[in-house]
Each structure stands twice: as structure tokens, then as C-alpha cells.
Structure 1
Amino acid sequence: MCRLFALTSTEPQSPMRAIEALDVMREGHDGSGVGLFLSDLGGPWEELDGAPILSGIFSNEGLKRLDRFMMDIGFMTKYKLSIKVPKSPPPGVPKRDIYLIRAYELPEEWEDLSRDEIDFRLMKIRLQLRQMGQENEDMIVFSFWPDCIMIKEIGDPLTVAEYLQLDRKELRARIILAQGRQNTNYAINLYACHPFFIQGIATMTNGENTAFVPIRDFLSSRGFAGYMGYQSDSEVFTHIMHYTLNMLGLDVPYYKHIITPLQDHDLEDHPNGDFLRHLKHSCRRLVIDGPNCVIGCLPDKRVFMVQDRKKLRPGVVGGKPGLFALSSEICGLDAIIPDRDKSSDFQPMHLDTVIIGPDRQEVQICSQKDTLPPIH
């Protein structure tokens, strides 16, 4: 099993807080890798006014290719953080040239484009850079999006974090998702490391999605370029959320009804039974088979946690106004927010969706048996 920890705070936090929580839960991961997603950024990134931020790992030659490519399509650097590391990495961590986080000015010719068109083009550029990097093995690109930073690496999470000096003010964020990886494959591919990302949506999972193939095939057939990759069976959770929000126009509570629909007899008395029966039929190939615990972040800065019907992966949510955490284990929560009211901790069951809004004042719990919000 992997271990997951997410933090949402009114004040920017160091990613080391999430790494420390993973270290407390280290018996649940084997130190084979770590992934970080940062959003609602603090520090210099707050002044960038929607500038897309590119996150990835580059060789020296790959960085030159990146610079040529971005200049050719009209992107100019607005702010950057280059993490240059010692020549000798710690044991278990690969040797890299540059970990790059760079914000860009949008091309002038994009000024009259709609938000949807800009979002689509940013995604296409990320995919193009990813393909370029795979061809020459000189670029690994994790995200290209406003107000988002992703860092992934092979190795023990605490060792990697100290090596990259992640406790720096430029990396403070109000939302942090962190995963300590349990390697289930012989070769470790960083594109298989959680969290996964698409157009401002990020999710990470502890578990195994045995329904991966039909879900992947359904998403791949939708004709949307971003539904690709799939080095991990958990990446589909991110794409299903994207499909729910962007393709179907449905809000987060509907996500649970898509991945784990109610039984037919439960729909008979449900206030939205007719609609949910239609949704279940039309999205039947997106039904997951676990066990899985999923934690994610949305473009509007809500964070959430859901379980599948088997409820065999741990998950707990707790905190206090202004600071909440979603964790695989209570010990991770205790390490980071020890002064919370522990009697208010909540462990979602198979019908629950937990949502914490961008105001970080309370935990909202939605049951699949509740009346659903209206569709806009």
C-alpha cells in the first residue's frame, strides 16, 4: 500500500509538513518514490496573475530543447525556480541535472482566446513536451498550468525532500498533496507516481483499481487528447473527475455516483433516483473495483476524499478552522495537527464524500443517499 497525506490551509505551508507526515507513516510505503502537488501557491507565485507554471525534470540538453521550443511558440519566462543539486545524489535517488519550475507569459496572440481554448492549448503543450522528452529521454514534464507545481522523484520521501531542499519559501502552498509510493512494478516510471494531473485537477490513490482496463478504454474513446498515459491504474481517477466536471458538467457529489453507483434497490427511494439510474447506465464502464481511497484537489481549491465500496484502505480527515488534513492514517494527522479536536475526526465510509472548501472552515460530508445539488 501507498501512503497519502493532503493539507489545506489558509496560510501557505512548507511541503516538508506533508513529507514529515509521510515519514510518520513510513511502514505503509517502501521509500521507492515520492510525489508532491502544490496549489494555491504562496510567495512569488502569487503575483503571477494566472501565468502557467511548468514543472519537470530536465537534462542540460533537454533544458536547451525546452527553451528553443517555448520561444518558438511565443512563451517568455516570467519567473523561475531551478533546483540544482549536488553531483552525487543520496543512495536510491537518480542523478539529475535540473529540477525546473518556471512560469511563462502567455503569447500575445493568445490575448483574445477564450478560457476554454487557453486551457486546451496549455494541456496540448504539456503533452507535446512529454512526448518530446520520452523520445530523447531528456525531459520529464509533470504539469503546465497556473498556480500548480508538481515534484516527483524516486527514493525515500524524506531523503528526497532534504536533498532537494524543499523547505524553501518559494515552495510554500495552501494546498499540498503528497504520496509515499509502494512500488508494485519492477521498473519505476515517474509518470506512474501519484499525484496525477489534468487541467487543474489532481488526485492520488492508495489501492488497486482492478477495473482499470475498461475504464481506460472508455476514457480513451472520448476523443479528448488529455485522456492518455496510464502508466498507473490509478491515473483514471483523475480523468474520471475531469470527465465528471468538464464533460458532464456535474459537481463533486456526482463523482461518487459514477465510480461507485448505488445498487438498484437503493435508487428506488432516492430523491434523484431516475437521473442516477440513467447516469449509472451511461457511465457503467467507469465503475471502479477496489480497494481504493482517493484524495484529490479541484481547480476551485476544494479538496476531497472518497472510498470505494470495499472500504479496505484507511483514510481519515481532521483539523481545525484554517487548517485541515486528509491522511491515510491517524498518526500522520496527529503529527501535523496535534492540537485539533480529535473527537471531530471523520473516517469516510463507502457512501461518503468528504469535501473541504477553499475557506478551510469546516468539513462537509456528502452521502450518496442525500439529495444531490442541482445541475447547472
Structure 2
Amino acid sequence: MCRLCALTSTEPLSPMKAIEALDVMREGHDGSGVGLFLSDLGGPWEELEGAPILSGTFTNEGLKRLDSFMMEIGFMTKYKLSIKTPKTAPPGVPKRDVYLIRAYELPEEWDHLPGDEIRNRLMQVRLQLRQMGEEKQDMIVFSFWPDCIMIKEIGDPMTVAEYLRLDRKELHARIILAQGRQNTNYAINLYACHPFFLQGIATMTNGENTAFVPIREFLSSRGFPGYMGYQSDSEVFTHIMHYMRHFLGLDVAYYKHIITPLQDEVLEKHSNGTFLKHLKRSCRRLIIDGPNCVIGCHPDKRVFMVQDRKKLRPGVVGGRPGLYAFSSELCGLDAMVPDRDKSKDIQPMHLDTVIVGPDRQEVRLCSQMDT
């Protein structure tokens, strides 16, 4: 099993707070990788509203190709953080030339484009860069989106964090998703490392999705360029949320109704049964087969946790107004918010969706029986 933790806070926090929680839970991951998703950013990024931020790793030659490509299509640098590492990497961590986090000014010709078109173009740029990197193995691009930073690397989470000096103030954020990886693939690919991200939606999963193939086939047939990659069976959880939001126009509370719909006899008595039966039929190929615990972040900065019907992967949520944490284990929650009222901790059951909104004042528990 992997280990997951997430923080949502009114004040920007260091990602080390999440890394330390992963370290407490280190018996549940094998040190084969760590992934970070940071949003609602603090520091210098806060003044760059709307500026897309590129996150990735590059060889020196790849960086030159990136600069040439971005200038050619009209993107100018507004702010950057380059993480250059010592000549010798710690055992188990690959040596990279540079980890780059760079904010860009949009091309002038985009000034009058509608928001949806800008969002689709940003995604297309990321996909182009990913393809370029895969062709020459000189760049790995995780995200290209406003108010979003992603860092992924092979190795033990604490070792990687110390090596990259992730405690720096430029990486403080109000939303932090972190995964300590348990490798279930034959080869370790950074694109297979959680969290996954698409157009403002991020998710990470502890478990195994044995319904991966039909879900991938359904999503791939939608004709949307962003539904690609799939080096991990868990990436579909991000894409299902995206499909639900962008194509069906549904909110987070309906996510469970798609991935783990209620039984037909229950829907017959449900107050919203007619709609939910139609949703179940039309999205039948998106039903998951776990066990899975999913933690994610919505574009409006809501953080959520859901589990499948089997509920064989633990998950707990707790905190206090202004700071809430999501964790695979209670010890991880204790590490992130030790001064909380533990009697208010929530361990969601198979019908539940746990949501903490952007005001970070309370935990909301939604049941499929009530939505």
C-alpha cells in the first residue's frame, strides 16, 4: 500500500509538514518515490494570479529546448525557482540537472480568449512538452497550470525532501497533497507517481483499481486529449472527476455516485433516484473495483476523501478551524495536527464523501443516501 496525506490551511505551510507525516507512516511505503501537489500558493506565487506555472525536471539540453519552444509560442518568464542539486545524489535518488518551477506570462494573442479556451490551450502545451520530453528523454513535465506546483521523484520521501531542500519558503502552500509510493509496477516511472493532475483537479489513491482497463477505454474514447498517459491505474480517478465536472456539470458530491453507485433496489427508494439511475447507466463503465481510498483537490480549493464499497484501505480526517488534515493512518494525522480535538476525527465509511472547503472552518460529511 502507498501512504497518503493532505493538508488544507488558512496560512501557507511548508511541504515538510506533509513529508514528516509520510515519514511517520514509512512502514506503509517502500521508499520508491514521493509526489507533491501544492496549490493555493504562498510567497512570490501569490502575486502571479492567472499565470501558468510549469513544473518538471530537465536535462541541460532539455532546458534549452524548453526555452526555445516557449519563446516561439509567445510565453515570457515572470518568475522562476530552479532547484539545482549537489553533484552527488543520495542513494536511491536519480541525479537530475535541474528541477524547474517557472511562472509565465500568457502570449499577447491570448488576451481576449475565453477562459475555457485558455485552459484547453494550457493543457495542449503541457501535452506537447511531455511528448517532446519522451522523444529525447530530456524533460519530464508534471503540470502547467495557474496556482499549481508539482514535484515528483524516485527515492525515500524524507531523503528526497532534504536533498531538494523542500523546506524553502517559495514552496509554502495552503493546500498540500503528498504520497509516499509503494511500487506496484515493474519499472518506476515518474509519470506513474501520484498525485495526478488535470486542469485544476488533483487526486491520489491508496489501493488497486482492477477495473482500470474498461475505465481507461471509456475515457480514451471521449476524444479529450487530456485523457492519456495511464502509467498508473490510479490516474483514472483524476480523469473521472474531470469528466464528471467538465462534461456532466456535476459537483464533488456526485463523484461517489459514479465510481461506486448505489444498488438498484436502494435507488428505487432514493429521493433523487430517477436521476441517479440514469447516471449509473450512462457511466457504468466508470465504476471502480477496489479497494481504494482517494484523496483529492477540486479547482475551487475543496479537499475531499472517498473510499470504495470494500473499504479495505484506511482513511481519517481531522483538525481544527483553519487547519485540517487527511491521512492514510491516524499516526500521520497526529503528526500533522497534534493539537486537535481527536473526538471529532472522521473515518469515512463506504457511502461517505468528506469535504473541507476553502474557508477551512469545518468538515462536511456527505452521504450517497442524501445526495
Q: TM-score range by the shorter chain?
A: over 0.9
1:248 aligns with 2:248: yes
- Render the CA deviation track for 1:209-259: whole Å, top value 9, x for unaligned: 000000000000000000000000000000000001111000001111000
Residue 162 of structure 2 corresponds to: 162
Matches of 1:226 and 1:339, distance apart in 2: 41
Q: What residue number does 2:309 align with?
A: 309
SS in 1 for 2:90: coil
Pairing of 1:134-149 with structure 2 (within 5 A): 134-149=134-149
Partner of 1:121: 121
CA RMSD, 1 decimal: 0.4
Residue 335 of structure 1: how far off its partner (Å): 1.1
Could you say which residue in structure 2 is the equivalent of 1:193?
193
Structure 2 equivalent of residue 26 of structure 1 = 26
Amino acid at match of 1:138: D
Identity of aligned residues (%): 85
Partners of 1:90 and 1:16 in 2: CA distance: 18
- In 2, Cα distance between equivalents of 1:17 and 1:244: 32
Distance (whole Å) between structure 1 residues aligned to residue 145 and residue 180 of structure 2 = 24
Runs (4+) of structure 1 exceeding 3 A deviation are: none
The answer for the alignment partner of 1:323 in structure 2 is: 323
1:223-262 matched pairs, under 5 angstroms: 223-262=223-262
In the aligned structure 2, how far is the partner of 1:21 from the partner of 1:135? 37
With structure 1 as the length reference, what TM-score do the two structures score? 0.98
Which residue number in structure 2 is paired with residue 285 of structure 1?
A: 285
The structural deviation recorded for 1:202 is 0.3
Deviation at 1:353, TM superposition (A): 0.3
Q: What is the CA distance between 1:186 and its match in structure 2?
A: 1.9
TM-superposed deviation, 1:79 = 0.1
Name the residue aligned to 1:63.
63
Matched residue, 1:341:
341
What corresponds to 1:203 in structure 2?
203
1:16 corresponding residue in structure 2: 16
- Aligned-pair distance for 1:49? 1.8
Structure 1 equivalent of residue 299 of structure 2: 299
SS at match of 2:177: strand
- Aligned-partner Cα distance in 2 for 1:218–1:38: 29
Aligned partners of 2:356 and 2:74: how far apart in 1?
A: 38
Q: Give secondary structure in 2 for the equivalent of 1:219.
A: helix
Q: Secondary structure at the match of 1:103?
A: strand
Give the gaps of 5 or more residues in structure 1. none
Q: Which runs of 5+ in 2 are unaligned?
A: none
Q: Match for 1:163: what amino acid?
A: Y
Q: CA–CA distance in 1 between the matches of 2:298 and 2:99?
A: 25
Partner residue in 2 for 1:3: 3
Q: TM-score, normalised by structure 2?
A: 1.00
SS of the equivalent of 2:63 reads helix
Aligned length: 371
Measured after TM superposition, the shift of residue 172 of structure 1 is 0.1
Q: Residue 180 of structure 1 corresponds to which residue in structure 2? A: 180
Please report how far the alpha carbon of residue 167 of structure 1 lies from its aligned counterpart in structure 2 after TM superposition: 0.2
Residue type of the alignment partner of 1:292: N
Matched, 1:368 2:354: no
The amino acid across from 1:37 in the alignment is F
